[in-house]
Amino acid sequence: MSELIKIEDVSVKYGNIEALRDLNFTIEEGDYIGIIGPNGGGKSTLLKTILGLVKPYKGTITFKETSLKKSNVKIGYVPQINELNRKFPITVKEVILSAKLPINMAIFHKYSEKDIQEVEGVLSTVGLLDIQHRHISELSGGEFQKMLIARALASNPDILLLDEPTSLVDMNSQKQIYSLIKSLNENMTIVIITHHVKEITKQAKKLIWLEKNIKSCGDPFEVYKFAYLNPTEQPGGKL
């Protein structure tokens, strides 16, 4: 496996609050990394820092040994559902198509046939082709989450960052989403924040337990055991 993203001595503060301290780890191409830890442990901040939305006050992040821009590494991001407005009057297909908008968007942008075919492809991958014309306010939690994954996939990313994609969905959708992510990992690097520690321990290639700094990192079962054998420090509560 070759190095995709390298995080070196990264520390992040919001005002006086230190959210991340001295993080060091590498994301390899083809990796599947689960990030676990308590609320407020800095998990979302870590993804936002990788995306460049939050700037570290110390340390560096390199992409294929250079900057994100120069590397051409494409990142897909699936944010937490509660950060999005579900009342917005738009259909499932329009949400995915919007990922294809050029940066200098024309008001009446016309999508190409290729864009439309690619969007239908990702809708089929996540199992939403049949409901592509449905208004987003009519979706279940699981369908909404799959739509967000499809939107991130529409830009054909090298790496997919997911922030708790299974927290507000029913058990059945949880299983479907984990199985979808596992199959996406055949062609794509995955980093996922989750509280479903058992599920991610079975599925990920590496786990990181984050609580401002990295408490434990590596083989999922070792990290799980470390967390389990330190009951006062369990990530995200009950295992």
The answer to whether 38 and 235 are in contact (CB under 8 A) is yes
Length of the chain: 239
Asked if 19 is part of the footprint of ligand ADP (rule: CB under 6 A), the reply reads: yes
The site string for ligand ADP over 56-75 (x = CB under 6 A, - otherwise) reads --------------------
Residue 117 CB, shortest distance to ligand ADP, in Å, is: 36
Residue nearer to ligand ADP on the CB measure, 79 or 136 = 79
Residue range at the interface with ligand ADP (CB under 6 A); choices 11-19, 59-67, 106-114, 176-184: 11-19
First to last CA, the chain: 31
Asked if 17 is part of the footprint of ligand ADP (rule: CB under 6 A), the reply reads: yes
Asked if 42 is part of the footprint of ligand ADP (rule: CB under 6 A), the reply reads: yes
HEC string of 96-161 equals HHHCCCCCCCCCCCCCCHHHHHHHHHHHHHHCCHHHCCCEHHHCCHHHHHHHHHHHHHCCCCCEEE
Site for ligand ADP (CB under 6 A): which residue of 45, 145, 174, 216? 45
Instruction: Write out the two tokens for 6.
Output: 């390298």
Nearest residue to 194 (alpha-carbon basis) of 183, 185, 182, 207 = 207
Asked if 174 is part of the footprint of ligand ADP (rule: CB under 6 A), the reply reads: no
Residue nearer to ligand ADP on the CB measure, 44 or 203 = 44
Q: Is 101 left (phi over 0), alpha (psi -120 to 50) or beta?
A: beta
The answer to whether 47 and 80 are in contact (CB under 8 A) is no
Residue 34 CB, shortest distance to ligand ADP, in Å, is: 13
Residue range at the interface with ligand ADP (CB under 6 A); choices 39-47, 112-120, 123-131, 179-187: 39-47
Supply the angle between the helices 171-184 and 141-153 in degrees, to the nearest 10.
10
Residue range at the interface with ligand ADP (CB under 6 A); choices 37-45, 115-123, 169-177, 215-223: 37-45
Q: Return residues touching ligand ADP (CB under 6 A).
A: 14, 17, 19, 37, 39-45
